[in-house]
Copies of this chain bind each other. A is one copy, B any other.
Amino acid sequence: MSETSRPSGRRADELRPMALQRGFTRHAEGSVLISMGDTRVLCTASVENRVPGFLRGKGEGWVTAEYGMLPRSTHSRMGREAAQGKQGGRTLEIQRLIGRALRACVDRGALGERTITLDCDVLQADGGTRCAAITGAYVALVDAVRTLQKRGDLSRDPVHGAVAAVSVGLVGSTPVLDLDYAEDSGCDTDMNVVMNDGGGLIEIQGTAEGHAFRRSELDAMLNLAESGISQLLAAQRAALEG
């Protein structure tokens, strides 16, 4: 695949235009609208002064996530999970991933007996929503922690480092970065990579949708992911300094 053959005209190693809009809504302690191309996810961080039962009395906090798609965030309308009476397997899988990813940068002892819930609601979907959710939720989390710090509720910063996530994939045998929906639905391998700002891997999930992939292809995809994530981490830093 030549570099210009992506449906979007992007180079294989090029992220979509990305924006992080802090303070998108008023009530949440952190509220960030992340746009990755046409994918737009509203990430809010809500602080509550209680923890789940298994943590009660241990002096530790909890960070968890919930994920949802508005019914018409997608090309054709999906059923509303609240009306169907349950969250589907994909939703549960994604929100478990987001929660794990964010907990990887939180010192739960420093958080104290509080829960921070990261609600990631997809307003518009064009591929890569779970990765966008992680990248945006990190910024919302930091904003929520800053709110707690301003209130004088924390003695030390519970957030260490940063996390961001991006998808990579094989289209045919070409590794590409940050797949949009058109690429995602036709690719051979789809991989989501979560990393921290120390260059460490937090989570990798790669699935061969067409032919199985080779170790060398895995390496090429991970190289792309590292490069993309370092740009996303820089964008997070810029947004948080803004």
Where the two chains meet, the residues of A that have a C-beta atom closer than 8 Å to any C-beta of B are 25-28, 31, 38, 40, 42, 44, 46, 48, 66, 68, 70-77, 80-93, 95-96, 100, 104, 117, 119, 121, 123-125, 195-196, 198-208, 211-215, 218, 222
With contacts A72-B31, A82-B81, A83-B66 taken as known, whether A215 is within 8 angstroms of B222 at the C-beta atoms is yes
Q: Taking chain A's interface residues, is the majority helix, strand, or loop, or is none over half, making it mixed? A: mixed
Copies per assembly:
6
CB distance from A117 to the nearest CB of B (A): 6
Chain B residues positioned under 8 Å from A198 (CB to CB): 212
Residues B212 and A42 in contact, CB atoms below 8 Å apart: no
**Could you write out 11 A-B pairs with CB less than 8 Å apart?**
A27-B72, A27-B124, A66-B71, A66-B80, A66-B83, A68-B80, A71-B117, A82-B82, A82-B86, A195-B212, A202-B212
Residue of A27, A42, A218 ringed by the most chain B CB atoms within 10 A: A27
CA distance A73 to B26 in the complex (A): 8
Docked CA distance A88–B123 (Å): 22
Q: Which of A84, A90, A92 counts the most B-chain CB atoms under 10 A from its CB?
A: A92
Of chain B, the residue at the smallest CB distance from A74 is: B27
> Which residues of chain B are within 8 angstroms of A38 by Cβ–Cβ distance?
26
**Complex Cα gap A40–B145 (Å):** 26
Distance between Cα atoms of A38 and B95 in the complex (Å): 28
Identify the 10 closest CB pairs spanning chains A and B, nearest first. A200-B212, A89-B92, A81-B82, A46-B77, A44-B72, A28-B72, A82-B82, A25-B124, A93-B93, A204-B206
